[in-house]
Amino acid sequence: MERIGIIDIGSNSVRLVIIDIKENRAHHLIENLKRTIRLRSGVDQGGLLTEHGIDNAVETIALFVKFCQARRVNRIIAVATAAVRQAANGNVLVDRILKQTGVQTHVLSGEEEAYLGYLGLVNTVTETTGLMADLGGGALKLVGFADRLNRQSVTLEFGAVSLMEKFDLADLPKAKNLRSFEAFLDETFSQIPWLSEYPKLLGIGGTFRSLARVYRNHVQYVPDLTDGIIIPSAAVEELYRMLSTMDLQRRRQVPGLEQARADLIVTGVGIIYRLLQASGCPELMVSASSIRDGLFFRYLYPRDPILFSVLSHHTDNLIEYHNLDENHLRRVSNLAVTLYDQLAPLHNLGSSERRLLLMASLLHELGVVVSVESLEKHTLYTVLNSRFLSLVHRERLITAYLAASHDAPFRAGLTDYVTNGPLVPEDLELISKLTPLLQIAHSLDRSRAGVVTHVRAELSPGLCELKVFGPQKRDLEISDAARHAPAFEQEYGVKLMVVAG
């Protein structure tokens, strides 16, 4: 087992993540720490980091290094971004860190920072084409990607902290300052013609995550997750207008907004809003990925860090890291999608629904990492909350409820996600329709011995005869699958008979 620590020295905060890596490269985040230091604000009028700012940063990093040592980290990777890159004396901070901690810090160029943000994003979302925005305290990195490949990129050397200070937006903004701020952004974005070539804006960084938390509280949205949330452009504008009418004290009371970001939230959301306008994107997708993920994947796969399949990687990673019964899960998933394909005339569903059934089949026992008691409840929670499952919220929920229903239907809290979340009533019907297929597939490997090798569904008016094949006796599997016949008949309107083939 290897354990690495990644320290990210940003303009607003210093972050540390610690990741365990097993011999088979399966990995798991075990620590995620943050300390706000506002290094960008610790720059004097001459463009130099102040002694106080340097001291504060070195003290924080020294604490993080000691923490890594206590957690038996094998290797520390440290990088610095815009605040250090832009400061004339950034090398002084780097030298002090090395002298006090023994850790060498690499100062990222704007191009490197943009690339690492892009790498972290495309390895953790299923979107293949879009406009990535990585908004920090001192820089905004924009990358246009298509077919998961970096097509265009630019680093703008301003961010939420620097523009907050430039336009005096920390407290109640003056109307003329807001106009100047917006005009500056519009003029800047107009110089980047390719912004409008991408259908969706995908945001990473602390400001995007703060916006997601504020949005969730504002509309009472569930699930309480940031990664994968989709926010309409109109909602971003509404929140920007609302926040810009508040003074700092009132903003500190806004539900979901952390105290340390209350002063820069107007600036940050304003940048996002004007970027949405400039790009013409109708909605924003927020990802919890970061340059730290880019650094990790570059470390894990130095020759070719872009994953071949995001969904396969992260699903396999969960199975392998938690030592789940992979052979059983693969057999169940193969049987489930085989049933799905053979029963196409009954369900009339497409490839996206097939993918969700496949995901649910592979993850239907993830809850055992908590307990086999109340497995369905734990499976729902772990599928919903597993980091970077690479699904938007609607897909996560459908997958989670399917996986939790692998033995018996589990619907606790499901309607809440229609009322206040991303599901629509038709999604409840979809879950009900797919559930019997997963249940039957799970039953057909009930002994986990692989006695069922394949199945063939033969359809006739009012009847589905499911023939079960295998080289060994399979009475247990056939009997267990037959108990789902009533649910199958209720959903598909035909009788199910499970027989040996």
List the pLDDT tens digit at each of the 501 positions of the chain.
999 999 999 988 999 999 999 999 999 999 999 999 988 776 767 789 999 899 999 999 999 999 999 999 999 999 999 999 999 999 999 999 999 999 999 999 999 999 999 999 999 999 999 999 999 999 999 999 999 999 999 999 999 999 999 999 999 999 999 999 999 999 999 999 999 999 999 999 999 999 999 999 999 999 999 999 999 999 999 999 999 999 999 999 999 999 999 999 999 999 999 999 999 999 999 999 999 999 999 999 999 999 999 999 999 999 999 999 999 999 999 999 999 999 999 999 999 999 999 999 999 999 999 999 999 999 999 999 998 778 999 999 999 999 999 999 999 999 999 999 999 999 999 999 999 999 999 999 999 999 999 999 999 999 999 999 999 999 999 999 999 999 999 999 999 999 998
* Alpha carbon 367 to its chain's center: 19
Q: Give the torsion through C-alpha atoms of 490, 491, 494, 495, to 10 deg.
A: -50
Is the peptide bond preceding residue 223 cis, with omega within 30 degrees of 0? yes
Q: Could you give the CA distance from residue 215 to residue 20 in angstroms, rounded to a whole number? A: 33
Non-local CB neighbours of 9 within 8 Å, separated by 6+ positions: 39, 57, 61, 78, 79, 80, 81, 83, 84, 105
Yes or no: say if 283 and 200 are a contact pair by the CB < 8 Å rule.
yes
Burial 303-337 (b: 16+ CB within 10 A, else e): eebebeebbebbbbbbbebeebeeebbebbbbbbb
Q: Which amino acid is at 437?
A: L
Cα four-point dihedral sign 411, 228, 260, 99: positive
Q: Which domains are assigned to the chain?
A: 2-107 (3.30.420.40), 111-292 (3.30.420.150), 310-500 (1.10.3210.10)
Which pLDDT belongs to residue 42? Answer: 65
Give the angle 237-394-355 at the CA atoms, nearest 5°. Answer: 135
Q: Which amino acid is at 466?
A: L
Q: Could you give the CA distance from residue 378 to residue 384 in angstroms, rounded to a whole number? A: 10
Give the sheet arrangement for strand 454-460, strand by strand.
454-460, 463-469, 495-500
Phi-psi region at 283: left, alpha or beta (left = phi > 0; alpha = psi -120 to 50): beta
Yes or no: say if 14 and 35 are a contact pair by the CB < 8 Å rule.
yes
End-to-end CA distance of the chain: 46
The helix (run of H) or strand (run of E) holding residue 20 is strand 13-21
C-alpha neighbours within 13 Å on the C-beta side of residue 153: 23
Q: Could you give the CA distance from residue 419 to residue 444 in angstroms, rounded to a whole number? A: 36
